Structure 1
């Protein structure tokens, strides 16, 4: 039995963001730097106004629990969040290093290597860095889909705010994947991430975990979201628009605080 028809609708909508993000960006009237700054401001507002206070609440949940295998986590929700942050930071550095190595190799391309272009295309599919990156974000999206069903704060408004924040988040992380792994991501990576969101929703309908496990899951996700927001959604100075960023941050913060 469905928890709410809205959760399924929003799970499918989030999956569609991954599938149609490139097309959506191409049809936007506003410049790319404007919508990236707008999305970055809204997402950072969600982190500071919603995620961090919830993480503090999860600390209280863990403090009142008894975790037999990992007793030190009872008092360290922020340690779990740090683990999420560090995990995705390491993956980002792997991706950037791989891209840099590929650029250096491209700069030394010979005529013989040009003839082997078809093999280079295949090597993208076998890129272990991309596969690790994709696997980690698949798990990330499963958690996001799961939390559509099982959230700390219930209610339709909280569900819609969560959906909007994750939708903004997916738009820009999609751009990050295209920057680091354009060809394999467009061919099949985006489909895997889209399916992961719906898969997470399905898992949420079939399986309910304990409040303590949910707190640990949320803490890890919080750290990952903070990292991904900062690295992708706070744009470089040359590509930013502070007015759009301020509008996005102030507007979304207002919605979170007063609705």
Structure 2
């Protein structure tokens, strides 16, 4: 494991352990925080995730004859969207309907899914050997994404998240590390994993991480989008990511 991947993984673990303490308590500052992090996340989706998914599709089609179209991995990403959306829909409906007898079961269901999701993200970081400056900006975007996810889970489950949930999410990161170090999957399998988590991440960013209109701070959101986009595109140009 590279030192870059180790630092990113350790950062992701600390985020899940202390996400509820990282968000500013003041309402205005909190709105600006989520607007800025949402801007970074949206930029990350459009300047990194989608181009990388397209590159993976082209490489997979070139090396595997049974890929006859130009969209097979996009279908996997769409499957990630469906799975993620279905889980969030079930959970949020239960909370709206106040189905207290199902909350405990839904907690374990949702936490287990996100633990698995964290494992796949951590595996991707280790297996793709994201290094140097690229690791910093990858880690920044994914880290803010994890903060938003962890904060939402803390808001929904409170003490249950602090007592059990955050440790399961952190264990998902560790499991992804271990899998990336000990298991050599084929390039096709790695591309499928990346496509699946890309779909889940895209939906989460666009539907759940962007604050609603009455809680958003548009200028801060715009600053987040433009700053991350300009810096990332500049680094892509100079370092040929």
TM over 0.5: yes
Match of 2:239 in 1: none
In structure 2, which of residues 25, 30, 33 is the aligned counterpart of residue 35 of structure 1? 33
In structure 2, which of residues 123, 131, 149 is the aligned counterpart of residue 146 of structure 1? 123
Displacement after TM superposition at 1:179 (Å): 3.1
Determine if the alignment matches structure 1 residue 197 to structure 2 residue 173.
Answer: yes
Q: Which runs of 5+ in 2 are unaligned?
A: 236-241
Instruction: Provide the C-alpha distance between the structure 1 equivalents of 2:156 and 2:95, rounded to a whole number of angstroms.
Output: 6
> After the TM superposition, which parts of structure 1 deviate over 2 Å for at least 4 consecutive aligned residues?
26-30, 64-68, 71-75, 178-183
Q: RMSD in angstroms over aligned alpha carbons?
A: 2.3
Instruction: Provide the C-alpha distance between the structure 2 equivalents of 1:56 and 1:140, rounded to a whole number of angstroms.
Output: 21
Displacement after TM superposition at 1:241 (Å): 0.3
Which has more radius of gyration?
A: 1
Instruction: Provide the C-alpha distance between the structure 2 equivalents of 1:137 and 1:154, rounded to a whole number of angstroms.
Output: 22
In structure 2, which of residues 147, 151, 174 is the aligned counterpart of residue 171 of structure 1? 147
Displacement after TM superposition at 1:182 (Å): 2.6
Contact 1:61–1:215, Cα closer than 8 Å, also in 2? no
Q: Given the superposition, is the C-alpha separation of residues 23 and 57 from structure 1 closer, same or farther in structure 2, using an over 3 Å criterion? A: same
Determine if the alignment matches structure 1 residue 137 to structure 2 residue 137.
Answer: no
Secondary structure in structure 2 of the residue aligned to 1:64: helix
Match of 1:7 in 2: 5
Determine if the alignment matches structure 1 residue 98 to structure 2 residue 90.
Answer: no
TM-score, normalised with respect to structure 1: 0.83
Q: Which has the higher mean CA deviation after the structures are superposed, 220-229 or 202-211?
A: 202-211
Displacement after TM superposition at 1:210 (Å): 1.3
Match of 1:51 in 2: 49
Match of 2:201 in 1: 225
TM-score, normalised with respect to structure 2: 0.89
State the aligned residue count: 235
